[in-house]
Amino acid sequence: MLEIAIMIEGQNGLNWKRWQNIARLVEELGYVGLFRSDHFTNMNLPDKDSLELWVSLTWLACNTQRIEFGPLVSPVSFRHPALTARMASAVDDLSNGRLTLGLGAGWQEREHQLFGFDLLETKPRFERFEEGLQVITQLLKSDAPVSFDGTNYQLREAALLPRPQRLNGPRILIGGNGETRTPKLIARFADEWNAIFLSSEQFKKNNARLDEVLIKEGRDLKSVRRSMMTGCVFGHTDSSLKHKLDERGRTLEELHQRGIVAGSASEIKQQLHKLAESGLQRIMLQWLELDDLAGLEALAKAVL
């Protein structure tokens, strides 16, 4: 059965009141999880509230009991990977093993410029990302002190203590639709692949490509969960759906072509069924209307 989670954009006006309201509702309604982006600000003006990622996840670990959660995704360009590993291990322990650690290379130029982070050109950016993945996974998995001598990061007998309560620490998620670099990184480091905005046909193709790489690397195909984050435009009435489509200036067909889950309850169920048939195991539906709690509840009643 396809698992359904909610994803919100942390830079899209997220503050404590909104975060707490959404988290409690997602837990009560039966969604499998709540995930959020890790951004300091928007790609374009206007800037909005943007609650800090790890502080928000620490609150979530203490104030929910059931849902899984994590960043989609946290760029290594923001924080040293040793710090990320330490925080992730602690938050995972605090939540009794409910964190999924989504990691990425970083991409949004504006926030890096505004806050003084070095994004790097594409090749060195992904080289840094690979080093970050090595540092994080070694610190989480190794009971012995870790030494690492990379171009971007160096460790000298570094020990992550206390050791993670969960064997090897939280699950590692790598997102992206790339057909070459991304599958190789997933096969080496990840427990979950998170695609972005794909139709069922596109997902099936990329999923088969990942299978090929996993087999080549000697990984069990079932050892990597297949998930996807995509947009969600849900109308529990014809008028509300029309209003949302008019706001976006798109037809249902155009949204579906972009991989966005959109429509009435029956139309969304049909899309989800096709995605499940293509091999998708979990979907994170991007909920942009942070104050539309009634819509979130109506969606749960319609599809869960």
Cα separation values, 240 from 32, 207, 259, 262, Å: 26, 34, 21, 12
Quick one: pLDDT at residue 301? 95
Residues 165-190 have pLDDT tens digits of 999 999 999 999 998 999 999 999 99
Quick one: pLDDT at residue 236? 84
Percent of the chain with pLDDT over 70: 100
Quick one: pLDDT at residue 12? 95
CA separation for the pair 135, 229 (Å, rounded): 26
Q: What is the pTM of this model?
A: 0.96
Q: Which domains does the chain have, with CATH numbers?
A: 3-303 (3.20.20.30)
CA separation for the pair 118, 54 (Å, rounded): 20
Please check the confidence at residue 235 and state whether its pLDDT lies above 90: no
Quick one: pLDDT at residue 120? 98
Mean pLDDT on 193-222: 97
Please check the confidence at residue 140 and state whether its pLDDT lies above 90: yes
User: Is residue 237 very low, low, confident or very high in pLDDT (cuts 50, 70, 90)?
Assistant: confident
Residues 47-59 have pLDDT tens digits of 999 999 999 999 9
